[in-house]
Amino acid sequence: MPNRSKQRKRVLTRVLIGLCIAVMLFIVISFIVSKIVYDKQFPRYDRPDENLSAQLRYSDMRTYYPRRLVQFPSGKTLLQGYLYGAENSRGLMVISHGIGGGADSYLPQIKHFVDSGLRVFAYDCTGSYASEGKSTKGFVQSVLDLHAALVFIGTQAELSQMPLLLFGHSWGGYAVANVLHYPHEIRGVISVSGVNTAMDIIVEQGKSLMGGFIYTQYPFLALYQRFLFGDAASFDAVSAINASDIPMLIIHGVSDEMVAFDKSALIAQKDAITNANVRYVAADTPGRDGHNNLFRTDAAITYVNEINESYRALFDSYDGTIPYEVNKRFYDGIDRNMLHELEPDLMLVIDDFIEHALRN
């Protein structure tokens, strides 16, 4: 009997040791996997070749919309900023761009705001376009970069005296809401296609890559993000919005394919938002209810479809390898102003919000 008892104890000890080793291996592997998955989602995004891009180009509008280049630090990284409408004094609109793009991705909106009498300050986030950074680092970085931009503005004698407005889309939509955790004097915020927290969107997009397994990685992703960004990693837009009475306009497409309308989207937190100065727009017009098509007119969307059809035919005719000069001629033939024509009804809602925010 004593021998059997000793054998059972040895077996139990081995089992416990095996379990401990398995748990340790799971933790180590999970940290490694989490870091790889997280970092993969936030590479560097360089400015695309403007000859092979359908984006509106600054060279197309330089004559009528001159801009001044400025640089400012975000931590140890130097960011590139752009100041438009130097003669305008109605207010200062700061634009925070979406991930994968840069300030120039929002040239149609910049033109609109300048035409409405606003001065505009746009910038390329960390790891984007003309700014420094080997990567975009993480979702929280957009908040830190916007905070750095507002700190810089506060050091500029003329800019610091202007009524301050914020406009952000996607990554930037998250930033303009969460930067309210910092004590900046802001008159109004426009958040388009934004999310409430960084972890919400990371898990939502991670699920599309890893399925339900992503939930086992949640604590490791959260810990890694905390390591990268400190306290800012735990920011949520709802608490920042509720702690202020700053007017805010939240816009989101009901069929958003990047930020789910009823899941990670900031607008999904509508019932938790108690700030009475928040307005909501659920964009539900078919064809203009997604992530990147909200601002286009019906004519622009039709034109996009025509261009895509023509490009597919060109692509097929060259078996997927289009010569550079042929590619360039195709893009030279695109009417970029028509392609990026802004939907007037949506811009009217935004303009009315701005007018109200500046008046109060």
Q: Please tell me whether residues 89 and 184 are part of one structural domain.
A: yes
Label each residue of 247-301 as H, E or C: CEEEEEECCCCCCCCCCCEHHHHHHHCCCCCEEEEEECCCCCCCCCCCCECHHHH
Give the span between the Cα atoms of 214 and 41, in whole angstroms. 14
Written as six digits, the tokens of 40 are 């993969």
- CATH code, 253: 3.40.50.1820
Q: What is the pLDDT of residue 213?
A: 64
Domain extent at residue 311: 296-341
Q: Please tell me whether residues 47 and 129 are part of one structural domain.
A: yes
Q: What is the pLDDT of residue 14?
A: 72
Judge whether residue 93 has pLDDT over 80: yes
Tell me the average pLDDT across 113-123: 98
Give the global pTM.
0.92
Q: What is the pLDDT of residue 85?
A: 97
Written as six digits, the tokens of 85 are 């409408």
Per-residue confidence band for 209, with pLDDT thresholds at 50, 70 and 90: low
Q: Which of 102, 113, 115, 26 lies closest to 57, judged by CA?
A: 102
Per the domain annotation, does 120 fall within a domain? yes
Per-residue confidence band for 255, with pLDDT thresholds at 50, 70 and 90: very high
Per the domain annotation, does 204 fall within a domain? no
Q: ∠ CA 334-337-339 to the nearest 5 degrees?
A: 60
Written as six digits, the tokens of 77 are 């990284």
Per the domain annotation, does 219 fall within a domain? no
Judge whether residue 234 has pLDDT over 70: yes
DSSP string computed for 98-122: PTT--GGGGHHHHHHHHHTT-EEEE
Q: Please tell me whether residues 166 and 310 are part of one structural domain.
A: no
Per the domain annotation, does 157 fall within a domain? yes
Task: Please tell me which residue, 200 or 218, carries the higher pLDDT value.
Answer: 200
Q: Please tell me whether residues 145 and 172 are part of one structural domain.
A: yes
Written as six digits, the tokens of 250 are 């939240």
Q: What is the mean pLDDT of the chain?
A: 91
Per the domain annotation, does 49 fall within a domain? yes
Percent of the chain scoring above 90 in pLDDT: 80
Judge whether residue 243 has pLDDT over 80: yes
Q: ∠ CA 75-80-84 to the nearest 5 degrees?
A: 130
Q: Please tell me whether residues 190 and 303 are part of one structural domain.
A: no
Judge whether residue 1 has pLDDT over 60: no
Q: What is the pLDDT of residue 208?
A: 66
Per the domain annotation, does 11 fall within a domain? no
The CA-to-CA distance between both ends of the chain, in Å, stands at: 86
pLDDT tens digits, one per residue of 59-78: 989 999 999 999 999 999 99
Give the span between the Cα atoms of 354 and 338, in whole angstroms. 25
Q: What is the pLDDT of residue 253?
A: 97
Per-residue confidence band for 30, with pLDDT thresholds at 50, 70 and 90: low
The owner of tokens 């306290």 is 231
Least confident of 26-35, 167-176, 239-248, 260-269: 26-35
Q: Please tell me whether residues 287 and 309 are part of one structural domain.
A: no
Per the domain annotation, does 223 fall within a domain? no
Judge whether residue 31 has pLDDT over 90: no
Q: Please tell me whether residues 305 and 288 are part of one structural domain.
A: no
Q: Please tell me whether residues 95 and 64 are part of one structural domain.
A: yes
Q: What is the pLDDT of residue 37?
A: 77
**CB-neighbour burial class of residue 156 (10 A; exposed 0-12, middle 13-18, buried 19+):** middle
Number of folded domains that form the chain: 2
Per-residue confidence band for 201, with pLDDT thresholds at 50, 70 and 90: confident
Q: What is the pLDDT of residue 121?
A: 98
Q: Please tell me whether residues 102 and 154 are part of one structural domain.
A: yes
Per-residue confidence band for 39, with pLDDT thresholds at 50, 70 and 90: confident
Judge whether residue 156 has pLDDT over 80: yes
Tell me the average pLDDT across 37-46: 88
Per the domain annotation, does 210 fall within a domain? no
Q: Please tell me whether residues 241 and 336 are part of one structural domain.
A: no
Q: Please tell me whether residues 274 and 334 are part of one structural domain.
A: no
Per-residue confidence band for 125, with pLDDT thresholds at 50, 70 and 90: very high
**CB-neighbour burial class of residue 24 (10 A; exposed 0-12, middle 13-18, buried 19+):** exposed
pLDDT tens digits, one per residue of 311-359: 999 999 999 899 999 999 999 999 999 999 999 999 999 999 999 999 9
Q: Please tell me whether residues 177 and 301 are part of one structural domain.
A: no
Judge whether residue 48 has pLDDT over 70: yes
Q: What is the pLDDT of residue 28?
A: 64
Judge whether residue 207 has pLDDT over 80: no
Q: What is the pLDDT of residue 22?
A: 67
Tell me the average pLDDT across 269-297: 95
How many angstroms separate the Cα of 277 from the Cα of each of 129, 221, 252, 310? 35, 34, 17, 46
Judge whether residue 185 has pLDDT over 60: yes
Task: Write the CB contacts of 278 (distance below 8 Å, at least 6 apart in sequence).
Answer: 241, 247, 248, 249, 250
Judge whether residue 194 has pLDDT over 60: yes
Task: Write the CB contacts of 295 (distance below 8 Å, at least 6 apart in sequence).
Answer: 108, 109, 340, 342, 343, 346, 347
